Amino acid sequence: MISPYRSPMWGLATTRWYPHKTQNYVNFIYDSDQFKYPMTYQELINAGIAYREQTEPEQSLACFGQAFIIEPDSAAAFNNYGNTLREMGLPQRARPFLEHACLLDPGMATAQFNLAVTILLAGDLKQGMQHYESRWRFEHLNGMLPNFKQPVWRGEDLTGKTIAVIGEQGHGDILQFSRFVAELRGYNPQRICFQVGPAMTDLFASSSHFNGIDVFASTDTLPEFDTWSMLMSLPIGLGTDYQRLVSPLWYIEAPKGSVRAWQERLGPKTRQRIGIGWSGRKDTWINRHKAVSFDHIVDLIKSNPEHQWINLQVDASEEENRQLAKLGVGQYPGTISSWGDTAGLLHHLDLYIGVDTAVTHLAGALGRPTWVMLNQYALDWRWLLDRDDSPWYPSAKLFRQPSRGDWAAVISRITQYLGWWKN
């Protein structure tokens, strides 16, 4: 196939997009025989999706680009092309294609959601969060938005009122965005109710950042309230952008009982303690990109035996646990049943090294030194691009793959930094 980097269709992504000129571009490309593939529109879409599954985004672009040449009014083709560019770490190039998909089909929730995360990846938090409201019509979240009779909060004065904030999506999302709940105090509410999963209530109830905020489990019935907001919608009402993002060194504290329990389990400290995690949920597509192979983790531990390594990968396989035991890595099965338990362990670590998971977000929220190993392809928007720090977590340092799938370089760089860190 012809490389999409050398094709006129790639040029569309690097220039300003003029929807009214689309047909002129399409005619120009379509008249070039070298860009014709012996496949129908649907076959091209299917092939592009298949190449994505095989992590061959350049071939996906070639297929999706030819598809919108054949069907210039296909929102799906433009959406797939733009989303592929976003997954390749090119959000500025992706945006015009996704905007055009939304223009062609204003009701296409997938294109609207992809546009939102593209804007967020590019670093525009304020506009991106506004677009991110489209999540409630996207895939597994479709139909999950609560249907409360009270109005949604969008920045109004809260004097004498009770506001309910509803936690949403994954634990990492809740940990990252929970910082915004305390900012509601500036709107003078009578009461703030914050609802999260049962395994997280002890974590927030024990943190001084949430003093005066009533924490409820998702299994509890909320008291009467006057207005409400989903947790990840709070930045809209607060008018948050990266210039005004509140990033305290820490805003979550481990429960005191958990801290004491882990102190007893760990015993006296004789070496620097480093926690390690290398995978997210193993049943997800994204995990194949963000998870570090266990062999690399073994290499990292073997290269740095002078530290006390502690496993925080609670779903490690029996074989992985067996190998870790041979390396002398600390393992504490059956001791973690809540996020408060995890926070208690992290409290005693000198450093946590992990991938993009909820544990990593917790370590950052606790203000613990946190080194994040990041994939180059299909990177989550919240880690942004081309930086080794995070506006969300001052204690975090980011170790990015220099090229797609290159975890060896990441491990090598971490080993180098550990040499400096221990001295």
- In DSSP terms, which residues pair with 398 in a beta bridge? 372
DSSP secondary structure code for residue 152 in this structure: B
| pLDDT attached to residue 339 | 96
pLDDT tens string 63-108: 999 999 999 999 999 999 999 999 999 999 999 999 999 999 999 9
Rounded percentage of the chain residues whose pLDDT exceeds 90: 86
User: What type of residue is 342?
Assistant: T
Tell me the pLDDT band of 274, cut-offs 50, 70 and 90: very high
| DSSP 3-state of 172 | helix
| pLDDT attached to residue 180 | 97
How many Cα atoms within 13 Å fall on the side-chain side of residue 114? 29
CATH architecture of 4-141: Alpha Horseshoe (1.25)
Residue 234 has pLDDT above 70, yes or no: yes
Across 25-34, 295-304, 309-318, 332-341, least confident range: 25-34
| DSSP 3-state of 273 | strand
| pLDDT attached to residue 37 | 58
Residue 34 has pLDDT above 90, yes or no: no
Residue 399, token pair as written in the block: 């170790």
- In DSSP terms, which residues pair with 373 in a beta bridge? 399
pLDDT tens string 133-169: 999 999 889 999 999 999 999 999 999 999 999 999 9
Tell me the pLDDT band of 39, cut-offs 50, 70 and 90: confident
**Cα 415–Cα 418–Cα 419 angle in degrees, nearest 5:** 90
Q: Which of 246, 230, 214 is nearest to 153 (CA)?
A: 230
For the chain, the average pLDDT equals: 91
Question: Alpha helices of 293-380 — where are they, by DSSP H?
Answer: 294-303, 318-326, 339-347, 358-365
User: Which is higher by pLDDT, 1 or 154?
Assistant: 154
* Strands lying side by side in the sheet with 396-400: 308-311, 273-276, 351-354, 370-374, 396-400
Residue 110 has pLDDT above 50, yes or no: yes
This prediction's pTM: 0.90
d(CA 385, CA 118): 12
Looking at domain 256-422, what is its CATH homologous superfamily? Glycogen Phosphorylase B; (3.40.50.2000)
pLDDT tens string 381-410: 999 999 999 999 999 999 999 999 999 999
| pLDDT attached to residue 422 | 66
Cα 74 to Cα 68, 102, 143, distances in angstroms: 6, 11, 26
Strands 351-354 vs 370-374: parallel, antiparallel or unpaired: parallel
Query: Domain-by-domain residue ranges, the chain?
Result: 4-141, 162-238, 256-422
User: Which is higher by pLDDT, 32 or 114?
Assistant: 114
| pLDDT attached to residue 32 | 41
